[in-house]
Structure 1
């Protein structure tokens, strides 16, 4: 597919999506959200792709936020539709995708940008990254899942502190509170992210897909039951048969 605001590259079993709006620090507008949604859907249906990396162009910004110019004059109904459509079209789609998505946060991840990173399954960040949810400075609240995902990642108290104060935090502080997994230099960020993707890509695609669905239910009444049922279902699948056979035969599995 041809895209205007994103770049899609396939590198073996890993796909790299780069949000490419450097003139606006990669801010999310309607078209970019649609293009990202289409790219993720296509990659989810591509059996040759095992892992997806999401990053921003340049070294200054992952995504600096939503494109405020697009919704500055919205009323209640338009704003609700904006949030609902964005969550359903992109953010929830990423979280529930059948393949792991790793955010390589290479600079500012603010507002919708941080919400986009939080929808991903794993987050690596560069040392110069700055993260925050500044919506209350505009008289708003996060609208793309930020009030729901941030407490799950860092706890309710720290989430309240970040949302209420609207302050930006450093990559190191984000790692301390569990908002990002690891921090690297700008030069190391993508290579280290690809290294992790390569490790993940060696493993059972079906097992990982089932794990994503189970982990997403962690803390709910359905979580344990989903884990049990998925564990049982996998026993009938080729990935389990190959994995166990490889273990018993003392060789690497060929998933």
Structure 2
């Protein structure tokens, strides 16, 4: 399905227009907040290769746009956030021996192996299966509707969840829970996802996106350099382990952060008992 880009959708505070999109929609519901909607509801928002490539380009643009500070991603409709890759397209590729277009460096949906600079909040509006679950396993905060559930069904399909999900599940859930869901391909229920600390909050479907946008706006109201650096320093544990991550955070970011205009502004605002006026981040 091809979705035309909405005209006049870029506010004047955005410095560089976003890349062309065929399979997702972009809007800017609040200052400094990006909202991305996967727009293939009749296909449960599954992503063909081309869709994941364009999302990879979009996330790169998001990280480079100084006026954007937090993003929200959701799916169109009320049934599925993302059902994963377009399996019919994948079968066609296998049958014809065509070389598949390569996924972006960030992995499936440009997210499953993304490090990036800025946070992505998920408004999970239904099923997040396969690649859809791999995407949100690597997101920063997850809100979900009451009908949401999660699944890595790859073993049922004759493949494996190799877009980043397996090590992230191990870090998030531990060995036995991870083995339970990846070896059986069973559905992880919403109650389990909440109990396991995966989902932050369950929100009624009609209020889900607004809740996620409000939360993103809260993040966007804070010092942008501090959000970027705190996120990156914390996420180093994904790659290096806790003790090394702490050291690398100090080595890579602490000095530059303390020398930034936003650090000076935040401290001055505190001393002067006023609200800070943050500068765009160019980290």
Rounded Cα–Cα distance in structure 2 between residues aligned with 1:118 and 1:198: 22
Measured at CA, do residues 25 and 90 of structure 1 come closer, stay the same or move farther in structure 2, by a change above 3 Å?
Answer: same
Deviation by residue 1:196-251 (Cα, 9 ceiling, x = unmatched): 11110111111111112111112255301122232333111111111111111111
Rounded Cα–Cα distance in structure 2 between residues aligned with 1:42 and 1:71: 27
Task: Tell me what 2:274 maps to.
Answer: 251
Q: CA deviation at 1:87?
A: 2.0
2:233 matched to 1:214?
yes
2:164 matched to 1:145?
yes
Rounded Cα–Cα distance in structure 2 between residues aligned with 1:79 and 1:247: 57
Q: CA deviation at 1:85?
A: 5.9
Structure with bigger helix share is 1
Of residues 153-162 and 18-27 in structure 1, the stretch that sits farther from structure 2 once superposed is 153-162
Rounded Cα–Cα distance in structure 2 between residues aligned with 1:161 and 1:221: 29
Partner SS state of residue 161, structure 2: coil
- Give 1:1-255 correspondences, 5 Å limit: 1-11=19-29, 12-72=31-91, 74=94, 87=107, 90-91=110-111, 95-218=114-237, 219-229=241-251, 230-255=253-278
- State the superposition RMSD in angstroms: 2.3
Query: Would the aligned equivalents of 1:91 and 1:144 in 2 still touch at CA under 8 Å?
Result: no
Q: List runs of 5+ in structure 2 lacking aligned partners.
A: 1-18, 279-283
Query: Would the aligned equivalents of 1:3 and 1:35 in 2 still touch at CA under 8 Å?
Result: yes
Q: CA deviation at 1:74?
A: 3.1
Rounded Cα–Cα distance in structure 2 between residues aligned with 1:248 and 1:210: 23
Rounded Cα–Cα distance in structure 1 between residues aligned with 2:106 and 2:42: 22
Rounded Cα–Cα distance in structure 2 between residues aligned with 1:132 and 1:103: 16
Measured at CA, do residues 86 and 98 of structure 1 come closer, stay the same or move farther in structure 2, by a change above 3 Å?
Answer: closer
Of residues 40-49 and 219-228 in structure 1, the stretch that sits farther from structure 2 once superposed is 219-228
- Scaled by the length of structure 1, the TM-score of the pair is 0.91
Rounded Cα–Cα distance in structure 2 between residues aligned with 1:123 and 1:89: 16
Rounded Cα–Cα distance in structure 1 between residues aligned with 2:98 and 2:243: 34
Task: Tell me what 2:8 maps to.
Answer: none
- Scaled by the length of structure 2, the TM-score of the pair is 0.82
What is the count of residue pairs matched by the alignment? 253
Q: List runs of 5+ in structure 1 lacking aligned partners.
A: none
Measured at CA, do residues 120 and 128 of structure 1 come closer, stay the same or move farther in structure 2, by a change above 3 Å?
Answer: same
Query: Would the aligned equivalents of 1:96 and 1:212 in 2 still touch at CA under 8 Å?
Result: no
